[in-house]
Structure 1
Amino acid sequence: MKIVEPIDAYESIKRSMTAVLRWTTAGAGMVIFVGGVLLLLRHRAAPAAFHSFIGEPDALRFVPQIAMGAFHGHALAIVQLGILLLIATPMLRVVCVGIGYAIERDWLYVAVAGIVLAVLGFSLLSHKH
């Protein structure tokens, strides 16, 4: 008779974190794909200009405006939202790691994870002109 050992908390956290990261990355990819398809369908006749770089419009430089544009079905905003989801994936990893440290009651590393999360969040949400 084979004895199965229970999965310890670390393995459970690691599996959960892997699942969260996998689904977030897949979801971001799907959002980018949908936005790309909409962009191609709506602007297929537009000429491509590869000789000059044109940056993002002002409406796609800030998170609230990107979310609002994506909600209204703007293709570029949907693509940008997918990119933001990809950027948010490391932040989710830090959250998962922080939760894991909290379960293990390692408060020093919970604090470190909180500081890293605050720095990542500030850098994502702050903007410069």
Structure 2
Amino acid sequence: MGEDMRKAGGAGKGGGMRRVAEMPLDQAVNEIEGFLLWEAEKDRARTRAEAFCAGLPWLTDSQRREVELRYCQDQRDTSQAYLERIATRSAALRTEYEGVYRALRRRLITALLTGTVAVAVLVAMTAVGMSTR
């Protein structure tokens, strides 16, 4: 996800949309979603920076702009690090859950085959028992 967010962050620059257009649909949707989420995160950072600076009325206009820029950059860095941690954890969970799913699927198939064999043996034994009477 963090990588998607970085890639998506560049989607609005130059050939980014062409790159999205050349992707499979599900990957393109993920890129667009990542771009929109990152833009919303940047807007939230700007809004929080403005609110923070509103509490500091003694700042000059240039100081206010500088504080807002630094606040936004810090917020973006924090958000990116957080998203990268989430992406790493999500990938680990996905791998873990896929392994559990494969193991459960094997157990289910084994149980189904065992049950089918047991039913076939019972039917065969019943058929042999009825034919000997």
TM exceeding 0.5: no
* TM-score calculated relative to the size of structure 1: 0.33
Higher relative contact order (CA 8 A, sep 6+): 1
Q: Indicate the structure (1 or 2) with the bigger Cα radius of gyration.
A: 2
* TM-score calculated relative to the size of structure 2: 0.32
